[in-house]
Chains A and B, each alone.
Chain A
Amino acid sequence: MLETEELSKQFKGKIAVEGVNLHLERGESVGLLGPNGAGKSTTISMISSLIKPTSGDVLLDGKNVIKDPGKIRRVLGVVPQEIALYEELTAYENLKFFGRIYGLRGKALEKNIEEVFELVGLTDRQKDIVKTYSGGMKRRINIAAALLHEPEVLIMDEPTVGIDPQSRSHILEMVRELNLKKGMTVLYTSHYMEEVERLCDRVYIMDHGRIISSGTKDELKSILSSEETIMIDLDRPYPDLYNDLKQHDGILQTMETETGLKLIVPKGSRLLGELFQIADRHQAKVVNVHVQTPTLEDVFLHLTGRKLRD
């Protein structure tokens, strides 16, 4: 129902987004994954008509909406990356105001406000001034404000940045429910791989303004079907060992983790023995070794040679 065609944006000649093609089917839950500065927010702003694309189109049910953004604005519920609320108003007053500018009135307005408060689990705090809320609570109201007018498509730009695990869990749960039970179409932006793994049917991976890969979670992981991941835990960092392994021809990707090293190697390569020898040469103490099937995080590492979060 919603798609973009070769969407591009330059800011004063600097490319932020280039040739992005996305499509969302009705009722789908789609993830848009990418590290800081990948161009996720810019893409979303173009879809929601807040920013005019340098080139490319946004289509809603096959119709171009760039010239006439009024059409798409009512269909979309956008949760911005920043908290877009009036700090001096209570949560209830905020929702009342936003509901009214969406044209809701009277009973319908009260009913929707009550519903979204229940949805985000803040019914008992609704008369408090937003300034007094915790970060997680503000995030939840930020989402609630986008749901008031019962949008068909919910676009969320990193809605869980910087909040406590409970709030985060609550939000993910809620989004999943909206998607599954109410059939709401969801575009979920994040740089947390596990959120996208949990929420989304399909994933776009974005880096440096481009979509570098897309597909269902399984499809993406099958990119790595010919590869496997070796986690090596060490007692302390060994920079020389790391550099040595980076030069190794048989290893596709090497990166440091909190506990040691992470290697991506071709499936079936008998490297383990050699790895122990190399470790020995550097007098590194191997605490634990673990071979695993790839995660989306690994897919990202494979595609970009970088971690998703740095």
Chain B
Amino acid sequence: MMRHFLWKDMIIIVRDRSEMLVLLLMPFILIGILGFALGGILGGDTSTIDIEVALVNEDDREAGVTAFVDLVENFELPVEAKEELISVAKTLNPGLLLEEMLSDQELSEMIHTEEMTEDEAQTSLQSGDIDAILTLPEGFTYKSLEKMVFSEGSGSQLSVMLSDQGSLYAKIFSDMIDGFARNLNLETAIIAAAGEDTAQLGESELTGSNIGGIITVSKNAPANSMQYYTIGMAVMFVLYVAGTIASKAFVEKQQQVFNRIILSGMHPSAYLTGKVISATALAFLQLVILFLLSALIFRTFSLGSADFWIGMMIITLVLAFCVGGLASLLTSLSIRYETEGVSSIFTGGIVTLFAFAGGSFFPLTGMPNLIIQLGNWTPNGAAMTAYLRLVQGYEWTDLMSPLFRSVIITFVLLVISIIIFPKRRSVTS
């Protein structure tokens, strides 16, 4: 029985050219575009990132610390407290911390700093030899410490000036410094030499957390951008299968084909089961096609490792069932309330939100925790985590928690959809 439903749903979708476009062509093109364009930024091959930064140091660190110590001495405080403050000031010395950060082993592979005078730096920036100028202004150490330790004074501004070429790198750098400054409660002024555009690009699209992302996952071999976006786009576009199945179900209901099916004596729940199976099968096929195409054409995954592909298939199967559950819920809603709105709201908005929260567009490290948590509980987000861990060579046990989340999501979706779906044999009350 179910086989006939599957056969029918498959033909209908395969014949629909716009559906095929959305389900296969679009994700494939996006994988190509995002994978190539953002290659190296996200990716594990950090060697391709090469940010040249001029460091203009107008600050006298020693003098700053000395002045701060003088300031502390003048307070009426117990001697122990004074000593404590002074030692904190010496270890928390912001200039020192910044220096340490920039010479960190991971970062120094990507960022090269060179001390220059203001004038030299400007000239180099104009000529495009460097991507950014980082300026430590006069009194930086003293003012920063004053602000950090006593929350007094106006603090000091670290300023970053960006070049207009290579703005993506420059932006990464400025975001990084911004993050650093925020950690220390400093104020920063990011001046974009290229004008407002550059600054805005960074505001909205790439945050310093991207870099953070690499650092945190780099314990294992990080996924490269092609792998990242193959997975990201695949888990995003597989959601459209659920929307498609639901919108076709709505058409069936509206055009009374649904009634005809019910009139054949079939129980409504069998109809819903048919939709789950069709969605699961379609989702599985779509994912397998996308992964294989990406492996063959973009050389994303090596075809040699059987273990890896068995893992891929298992995760894919779990995700496909989750999409089946999602299709079931959307179908139930569409039929119960007889509206096309359900599937169009889903495909028109919710998919994008899910994709964002699930990390399909960029890694979420550094995002508010709430978004990360929500993303973990989306069908695509849970699967994405599992895929990425597999690609990075995590242990199987590390894949269990996202897969388990997937199973729970599937279960919850199915239960809700069964509750919503009209239970009576005669369908309209």
Contacts and interface: CB of A to CB of B under 8 A. Distances in A.
Interface string A84-119: 111111000100011011100000000000000000
A50 B262 contact: yes
Contact of A85 (B1, B15, B255, B427): B255
Interface in B83-121: none
B219 interface: no
Interface in A35-74: 45, 48-52, 69-70, 73-74
Given A69-B426, A101-B1, A86 B8 contact: yes
Interface residues of B, number: 25
B264 A50 contact: no
Contacts of A129: 15
Interface in B221-268: 255-257, 259-266
Contact of A84 (B255, B426, B429): B255
A101 B257 CA distance: 12
A48 B428 contact: no
Interface in B9-66: 11-12, 15-16
Given A73-B263, A101-B1, A101-B4, A50 B427 contact: yes
Contacts of B265: 70, 73-74, 102
Given A70-B425, A101-B4, A84 B264 contact: no
Task: Name the interface size band of chain A.
Answer: 20 to 34
Given A93-B11, A102-B264, A84 B428 contact: no
A51 B422 CA distance: 12
Given A50-B259, A50-B427, A88-B16, A97 B264 contact: no
Interface string B405-429: 0000000000000000000111111
Contacts of B16: 88
A84 B259 contact: yes
Name the 10 nearest CB pairs between A and B, nearest first: A84-B256, A101-B264, A100-B4, A73-B265, A84-B260, A84-B257, A88-B12, A52-B426, A80-B256, A82-B256
28 contacts: A45-B428, A49-B263, A49-B425, A50-B259, A50-B262, A50-B426, A51-B428, A69-B426, A73-B262, A73-B263, A73-B264, A73-B265, A78-B260, A78-B263, A80-B256, A80-B259, A84-B260, A85-B255, A87-B255, A88-B12, A89-B11, A89-B12, A100-B1, A100-B4, A101-B1, A101-B264, A102-B265, A149-B264
Given A84-B256, A88-B12, A101 B261 contact: yes
Nearest to A87: B255
Nearest to A67: B425
Nearest to B258: A84
B20 to A, nearest CB: 12
Which of A76, A85, A100, A149 has the most C-beta atoms of chain B within 10 angstroms of its own C-beta?
A: A100
B389 to A, nearest CB: 40
B11 A101 contact: no
A149 B408 CA distance: 42
A101 B424 CA distance: 19
A74 B264 CA distance: 7
A88 B263 contact: no
B310 to A, nearest CB: 35
B419 to A, nearest CB: 20
Contacts of B4: 97, 100-101
Nearest to A100: B4
A83 B256 CA distance: 7
Contacts of B8: 86, 89, 93, 97
A86 B429 contact: no
